[in-house]
Amino acid sequence: MHRIVDFFLRSPDFNGILLTHLRGEMELAWADLQTIIADLMKGEEVTLAFESHSGDPHIKRLPDLPLDEQLKRLKSDDPSTTCAYPSSRVISASSDHSLYEGLPFTRRIALAEAQLTPVFFRLDVLDRYYRDPRYHFTFYDFGGSITIKSEHYASQDTDERDKVLLQTFGIGYDSKRNRVVIVYLRYLADLSPEHQQNWSGYVVTDNCSMNIDYARATINGDRPIYHSAYQALLAEQAEINKLSKLIGKPNLFRKTFDENRPEGFHPMLRPTLKNFDEFVHLLDKLLSENINRAFFEGDIPLDHEVQRKDGRIQIDRPGTIRLLEEWLSSTYRTANGEDISEDISKEVISPLKEIRDLHQRPAHGMTGNSYSPAYAKQQDDLVGNVVRALTKLRLIFHRILRLAIGTTHPTG
């Protein structure tokens, strides 16, 4: 027992000792060592990690298997792929807890807790890093990372405690399906005492769950099952541009982001009115400000002459959303040739106009700021509405391509 504890505490990463090493050091037959280990396990002094369960038994990645399952695998698994660990109870009684003063997450690993134990936090724990230009903050829908930028890592002006590397964090959900942050103990334990204590102040004790794709990617190395609405929006824009070329037109969107996502285009991390307004501004830049006026040339007028009350002629330059609406109304008909501009306006144009109107709201007055989880849902709903609008637009382009070659009014 002493050897198992000593190996764990002296190892660089709180590692377990292989049973083959124990057998060689103790000069015991395998059957005799099995009996000793089984007795220690039944006495809640030792636990085992198996390559067949966790992949790498040298690190206690996953929570312990039930005792009966461990005893079964002790008999069936190769001892060269099985490691022994002291139990938390044994470590708690034998280690010097002062070594981990101010390191709450390192202490949990030092007490033999599984390194991939998820810890859940309020979303605003990320705000410190997201707003700090010294950090490279990456977030894509269900996971991300935080690293100190190279120039600040090398700078003497940056305190060692702030040279943060958080290899991965993910998204989870509390009992009300509000988003929370999940970080595994392994990565929290690498933070400085100051940052560990900062994170500990945001711990969520509610019953939380992990995003299924984050769990699959980080624990099993599997590809995601689902794609977020944020990813779908960018993908729809890219597909619409491909169809634009096929129908002999310039790209509808001047720029697409299917490879490099715009910074800040992700689910809301801190649900405030200010963050909501910032996202609306970004979304409008991706949509109305990103529509290519050259797409409509030759099909509809890009400028309108309007007679003023004094009789003079004024040139009216419609916005891109209005141009898109006019183009669809003049180009697209039902199979019976009926005008469906009202349906197009509702399904395609209205969601784009809503973004435009919301964008102009803060620009025309002081809006203040407030905090509410409702802002995160409102943002998600906006993105979902836009995705449905772009999907409808893509289907229209498909029909134009398939049915309208050589006709004045493609039909649906």
On whether the CB atoms of residues 190 and 115 are closer than 8 A, the answer is no
Q: Which of 228, 213, 237 is nearest to 266 (CA)?
A: 228
Distances (CA, A) of 326 to 47, 90, 189, 342, 349: 70, 75, 58, 11, 10
pLDDT for res 342:
80
pLDDT for res 408:
46
pTM above 0.75, yes or no: yes
pLDDT for res 405:
57
Instruction: Residue 4: count other Cβ atoms within 10 Å of its Cβ.
Output: 22
The amino acid at 267:
P
pLDDT for res 406:
52
Query: What is 88-146 written as a DSSP string?
Result: HHHHHHHS-GGGGTT-HHHHHHHTT--TT-EEEE-GGGGHHHHS-TTEEEEEETTEEEE
CA gap 394, 381 in Å, rounded: 20
What are residue 147's DSSP bridge partners? 136, 165
On whether the CB atoms of residues 84 and 58 are closer than 8 A, the answer is no
Rounded to 10 degrees, the C-alpha dihedral 281/283/284/289 comes to 120
Rounded to 10 degrees, the C-alpha dihedral 339/344/345/351 comes to 180
Q: Which of 102, 402, 140 is nearest to 257 (CA)?
A: 140
To the nearest whole number, what is the mean pLDDT of the chain?
90
Element at 20 (helix H, strand E) = helix 19-26
Q: List the chain residues with pLDDT less than 50.
A: 364, 408-409, 411
Provide, rounded to the nearest whole percent, the portion of the chain with pLDDT above 70: 94
On whether the CB atoms of residues 33 and 3 are closer than 8 A, the answer is no
pLDDT digits (tens, 9 = 90+) for 270-307: 888 999 999 999 999 999 999 999 999 999 999 877 77
What are residue 316's DSSP bridge partners? 304
